Amino acid sequence: MATGTTGATPEAKIVWNERQRRFETEDKQAYLQYELRNGGKVMDMVHTFVPPTKRGLGLASHLTVAAFNHARSSSLSVIPTCSYISDTFIPRNPSWKSVLYYEDLKSSI
């Protein structure tokens, strides 16, 4: 059975731009920006951007999955500073909670 296209493929091509610390679409219009913390052991996902013309195509989710996959394969923990990731992506994809960074609360006792 053939399916129609809406301008985006289900498997959007996401590129890791290590120099600029972001994951982006091939055209560089949509991206997820991150910062490394704790000596490079924690990836703080600070901002996700999808231009208005490309919203509703699942690009933010594709970018976030690519970043989480990278974090997991590189043994990094994730801080979901970006509100899309913390308020939308994680609640919809709770299996990624295992990659999240939690400060050691015992050290403050």
Element (H, E) at 59: helix 59-73
Selecting among 82, 85, 90, 99, the annotated active-site residue is: 82
Q: How far is CA 18 from the centre of its chain?
A: 14
Task: Give the CA distances from residue 54 to residues 6, 14, 88, in Å, rounded to whole numbers and listed in that order.
Answer: 10, 14, 18
Instruction: For residue 82, indicate whether it is catalytic.
Output: yes
CA count, 13 A, side-chain hemisphere, 95? 4
Q: Would you name the residues annotated as active-site residues?
A: 82
